[in-house]
Amino acid sequence: MNEMPQAAQADEHRPGKRRRRQKYSAEPLAVVPDESELGPAMLKLTERQRRFVMELKCGPVGYGSEVRAAKAAGYGTPTSSDNYLRFAAHDVLHNPKVQDALREVGGKLIRAAAFQSIRNTEAIANDLNHRDCLRANLALLDRGFPTETFHHITVQKTTPEMLVVASEKVLARIAELAARAGLDPLVQIEAARAAKQIEGVAEPIDD
């Protein structure tokens, strides 16, 4: 009846021995879409990198998920050690092109999930017995008919060129740098003095 070898039986009953179960199956879970359906970042990847990205997208999330995705994408061989696969997964995951593709695929997921979120919020808003009914209605109202809108505008004011006045301090610095570079300091100072200068005091103007 019991065909288990003696050594295996001994292993099973040894109290201190801990065997880590493989967390995820390395079976491929994702299908890479046709090139016509891929975004520009995904198109820049190799076939194996694309499979890696899709496996990460479709596969389980958590510890070991990158290694699983690497295995499923075809990195390593059946005899590759865990360390090698961990290294390969780290390497491909930190490739800037792969990072771009992950952002691209992730963005699509978020945008697609947003519709489901709207539907869920709508369902809660219509359920008068739901404890978050009011909150869901307010959230929908806020997005549909906002009472207040915010616009973030960044205004960067730059001067067209660096304005430096030929003060004594500036001329002394010019002389010092010129001498250090093997140029004639007097010629440089003279040229700086002769350069076009802006006279006057700048004042801010209120729009």
State the minimum distance, in angstroms, from the CB of residue 172 to other proteins.
11
The answer to whether 81 and 143 are in contact (CB under 8 A) is no
- Which residue lies nearer to other proteins by CB, 98 or 174? 174
- Which residue lies nearer to other proteins by CB, 155 or 181? 181
- Which residue lies nearer to other proteins by CB, 25 or 197? 197
State the minimum distance, in angstroms, from the CB of residue 165 to other proteins.
7
State the minimum distance, in angstroms, from the CB of residue 177 to other proteins.
4
By CB under 8 A, name the binding residues for other proteins: 161-166, 170, 173-174, 177-178, 180-183, 187-188, 191-192, 194-197
- Which residue lies nearer to other proteins by CB, 144 or 160? 160
State the minimum distance, in angstroms, from the CB of residue 200 to other proteins.
16
State the minimum distance, in angstroms, from the CB of residue 94 to other proteins.
21
Please name which of 53, 74, 67 lies closest in space to residue 23, comparing C-alpha atoms. Answer: 67
Contacts (Cβ under 8 Å, ≥6 apart) of 64: 23, 24
- Which residue lies nearer to other proteins by CB, 126 or 197? 197
